[in-house]
Amino acid sequence: MRRSEFILPEGIYLDGNSLGPISHFTRACMEKRLQEWQDHAVKGWEDWFTLPERLSPTLAALVGAKPEEVITTGTITQNLHSLLGTFYRPTGAKKHIVATSLDFPTDLYALKSWADRHDAELRLAPSRDGYTIEEEDLENLLTDDVALVLLPVVLYASGQLLDIARLTQKAHEKGIVVGVDAAHSIGSVPHQLHDQQVDFAVWCTYKYLNAGPGAPGGLFVHEKHFDVMPGLPGWWGNDKHTAFEMKPFYRKGHGAAAYQTGTLSPIALAGVEGGLKPFAELGIEAIRERSLQLTEHFMHLIDEHLPEVEIVTPRAQARRGGHVSIRHPDAQLLSLALRDRGIIPDFRVPDLVRMAPVALYNTPEELENTVQVLRELLESKAYLEYANKKTQVV
Ligand SMILES: Cc1ncc(COP(=O)(O)O)c(C=O)c1O
Give 72-111 pLDDT, tens digit per residue: 999 999 999 999 999 999 999 999 999 999 999 999 999 9
pLDDT at residue 388, rounded to an integer: 84
Domain-ending residue, one of 282, 311, 335: 282
Q: Are residues 308 and 178 in the same domain?
A: no
Residue 72 in any domain: the answer is yes
Domain-ending residue, one of 250, 282, 314: 282
156 Cα–ligand 1 center, Å: 9
183 Cα–ligand 1 center, Å: 6
Other Cβ atoms closer than 10 A to 349: 8
pLDDT at residue 194, rounded to an integer: 98
Residue type, 153: V
CB-ligand 1 contact for 156 (6 Å cutoff): yes
Q: Which of 106, 186, 394 to mutate to test the pocket of ligand 1 (most atoms within 8 A of CB)?
A: 106
Residue 184 in any domain: the answer is yes
Q: Are residues 306 and 272 in the same domain?
A: no
Q: Identify the residue whose C-alpha is closest to ligand 1 atom 14.
A: 18
| Backbone φ and ψ of 185, nearest 5° | -120, -30
pLDDT at residue 392, rounded to an integer: 56
Q: Are residues 140 and 127 in the same domain?
A: yes
- CA-CA distance, 344 to 356, in Å (whole number)? 10
Q: What is the 3-state secondary structure (H, E, C) of the chain?
A: CCHHHEECCCCEECCCCCCCCEEHHHHHHHHHHHHHHHHHHHHHHHHHCCHHHHHHHHHHHHHCCCHHHEEECCCHHHHHHHHHHHHCCCECCECEEEEECCCCHHHHHHHHHHHHHCCCCEEEECCCCCCCCCHHHHHCCCCCCEEEEEEECECCCCCEECCHHHHHHHHHHCCCEEEEECCCCCCCCCCCCCCCCCCEEEECCCCCCCCCCCCCCEEEECHHHCCCCCCCCCCCCECCCCHHHCCCCCCECCHHHHHCCCCCCHHHHHHHHHHHHHHHHHCHHHHHHHHHHHHHHHHHHHHHHCCCCEECCCCCHHHECCCEEEECCCHHHHHHHHHHCCEECEEECCCEEEECCCCCCCCHHHHHHHHHHHHHHHHHCHHHHHHHCCCCCC
- CA-CA distance, 7 to 305, in Å (whole number)? 30
Residue 202 in any domain: the answer is yes
pLDDT at residue 393, rounded to an integer: 53
Q: Are residues 190 and 261 in the same domain?
A: yes
pLDDT at residue 66, rounded to an integer: 98
Q: Are residues 268 and 123 in the same domain?
A: yes
Residue 257 CA to chain centroid, in angstroms? 19
251 Cα–ligand 1 center, Å: 30
Residue 8 in any domain: the answer is no
**For position 176, which CATH number holds?**
3.40.640.10
Q: Are residues 212 and 345 in the same domain?
A: no
CB-ligand 1 contact for 77 (6 Å cutoff): yes
As for how many domains the chain has, the answer is 2
Residue 273 in any domain: the answer is yes
Q: Are residues 228 and 358 in the same domain?
A: no
Closest CA to 188 of 10, 52, 323: 323
Whether residue 42 contacts residue 180, with contact meaning beta carbons closer than 8 Å, is answered with no
**For position 287, which CATH number holds?**
3.90.1150.10
Residue-wise pLDDT tens for the chain (394 aa)? Answer: 899 999 999 999 999 999 999 999 999 999 999 999 999 999 999 999 999 999 999 999 999 999 999 999 999 999 999 999 999 999 999 999 999 999 999 999 999 999 999 999 999 999 999 999 999 999 999 999 999 999 999 999 999 999 999 999 999 999 999 999 999 999 999 999 999 999 999 999 999 999 999 999 999 999 999 999 999 999 999 999 998 999 999 999 999 999 999 999 999 999 999 999 999 999 999 999 999 999 999 999 999 999 999 999 999 999 999 999 999 999 999 999 999 999 999 999 999 999 999 999 999 999 999 999 999 999 999 999 999 887 655 4
What digits encode the pLDDT tens for the residues 266-320? 999 999 999 999 999 999 999 999 999 999 999 999 999 999 999 999 999 999 9
Domain-ending residue, one of 282, 315, 338: 282
Q: Are residues 261 and 373 in the same domain?
A: no
Residue 6 in any domain: the answer is no
Q: Are residues 274 and 306 in the same domain?
A: no
Q: Are residues 271 and 322 in the same domain?
A: no
Closest ligand 1 atom to 152 CA: 1
195 Cα–ligand 1 center, Å: 25
Domain range enclosing 382: 283-388
Longest CA pairwise span in the chain (Å): 69
CB-ligand 1 contact for 214 (6 Å cutoff): no
Whether residue 80 contacts residue 103, with contact meaning beta carbons closer than 8 Å, is answered with no
Measured over the CA atoms of residue 55, residue 16, residue 295 and residue 2, the dihedral's sign is: positive
CB-ligand 1 contact for 153 (6 Å cutoff): no
Residue 104 in any domain: the answer is yes
| Backbone φ and ψ of 44, nearest 5° | -55, -30
Closest ligand 1 atom to 207 CA: 14
CB-ligand 1 contact for 107 (6 Å cutoff): yes
Closest ligand 1 atom to 76 CA: 10
Residues taking part in catalysis: 104, 181, 206-207, 354
CB-ligand 1 contact for 106 (6 Å cutoff): yes
Residue 339 in any domain: the answer is yes
Q: Identify the residue whose C-alpha is closest to ligand 1 atom 8.
A: 76
CB-ligand 1 contact for 19 (6 Å cutoff): no
pLDDT at residue 238, rounded to an integer: 96
155 Cα–ligand 1 center, Å: 11
Q: Are residues 251 and 343 in the same domain?
A: no
Q: Are residues 270 and 308 in the same domain?
A: no
Closest CA to 135 of 163, 105, 97: 163
Across the strands, what pairs with 161? Answer: 154
